[in-house]
Amino acid sequence: MKKLMIYVLVFIAIIAITFLIGKINLSINFNKQVKQLFAESKNISDKKFSYQQLEDLPEPVQRYFKHVLKEGQPFISYIRLKHDGQFKTDLKKDWVNIDGEQYFTTEKPGFIWKGTTSMFVARDMYIADKGRLAVSLFSVYNIVDGNGEKYNEGELLRWLGESVWFPTNLLPNKNLQWTPIDSISARLTFIHDSLTISYIVTINETGEITQLETKRYVGNENLETWLGKLTNYNEMNGILIPTTIEAVWKLTEGDFSYAKFNVTEVEYNKAEKF
């Protein structure tokens, strides 16, 4: 009996050490990816926002920028944020609590996100023009590692949609265009690295973007309609941004809400990890 107890304790110790090593390795890799992300872009905060940049934009888009930005606002180069919220891995599964941290660059499109739950750690990223989704069970075993052309497009779409958290990135330029639809919506189109992506953007009378709609691949599966619902606008670091986002797939069997994130902290132009 005593020998059996020793074996059990040794086994538990091995498992604990394995988990600890896995957690340390994941943290080291994440830190390297954040450094790579920031190293590949550059500072563009010498550029300033002016209302003159809005002259040829659709009226609802002008309404949005006038609402969230101030004259002379420096362009945002780097972003880091934290959030809490809930997440679903499957339509039939329960919500789980999730905490996330995320880093973005604007001059060169890129981001990396790490979401942590009690069971798994997910990393979503677009770095060096490549998209990837990796999910590790207990920070040790990779149970998902998605990459390829469909992930490149999907992760670039995520970067563009989440630009509502750093809206100077949505101002028109040679690669980004707004075209009119009606009094409350416009089409946002972005071209990068042979990819052309777009959203139908809904803007309310106040000037808040309330919804983003696009077609997006579910992993490597079908192309489906994806919605981002944006609420709870608050001023953070002088910029008005939505602090709550809900992500929804519109599937044949009905709407599937799988993420509800609440932004708790945002910092601009700090090219370093929290």
Whether residue 180 is contained in a domain is answered as yes
Which one is predicted more confidently, 18 or 108?
108
How high is the pLDDT of residue 104? Answer: 98
Q: Tell me, what CATH number does 140's domain have?
A: 2.50.20
Q: Three-class SS string for 180-239?
A: EEECCEEEEEEEECCEEEEEEEEECCCCCEEEEEEEEECCCCCEEEEEEEEEEEEEECCE
How high is the pLDDT of residue 137? Answer: 83
Q: Is the pLDDT of residue 8 over 80?
A: no
Least confident of 3-7, 62-66, 220-224: 3-7
In angstroms, the CA 171 to CA 61 distance is 10
Residue among 224, 191, 229 nearest 212 (CA): 229
**Residue pLDDT, tens place only, 16-59:** 555 555 667 778 999 999 999 999 999 999 999 999 999 999 99
How high is the pLDDT of residue 144? Answer: 79
How high is the pLDDT of residue 27? Answer: 81
Least confident of 19-28, 95-104, 175-184, 186-195: 19-28
**Residue pLDDT, tens place only, 136-152:** 886 555 677 899 999 99
Whether residue 274 is contained in a domain is answered as no
| C-beta separation of 135 from 118 below 8 A | no
Whether residue 141 is contained in a domain is answered as yes
* Residue reference for tokens 């362009």: 75
Least confident of 90-94, 119-123, 132-136: 90-94
Burial 162-181 (b: 16+ CB within 10 A, else e): bbbbbbbbbbeeeebebeee
In angstroms, the CA 136 to CA 115 distance is 11
| C-beta separation of 34 from 103 below 8 A | yes
Neighbours of 40 (CB within 10 A): 15
- What lies within 8 Å, CB to CB, of 161 at 6+ separation is 199, 212, 214, 228
Whether residue 224 is contained in a domain is answered as yes
Q: Is the pLDDT of residue 263 over 70?
A: yes
How high is the pLDDT of residue 83? Answer: 98
How high is the pLDDT of residue 140? Answer: 57
Q: What is the dihedral of CA 150, 243, 239, 182, to 10 degrees?
A: 60
In angstroms, the CA 146 to CA 132 distance is 6
Average the pLDDT over 3-12 and give the result: 58
Three-state DSSP class for residue 22? helix
Whether residue 273 is contained in a domain is answered as no
Structural domain harbouring 33: 2-268
Please tell me the total count of domains within the chain: 1
Q: Is the pLDDT of residue 5 over 70?
A: no
Average of per-residue pLDDT values in the chain: 92
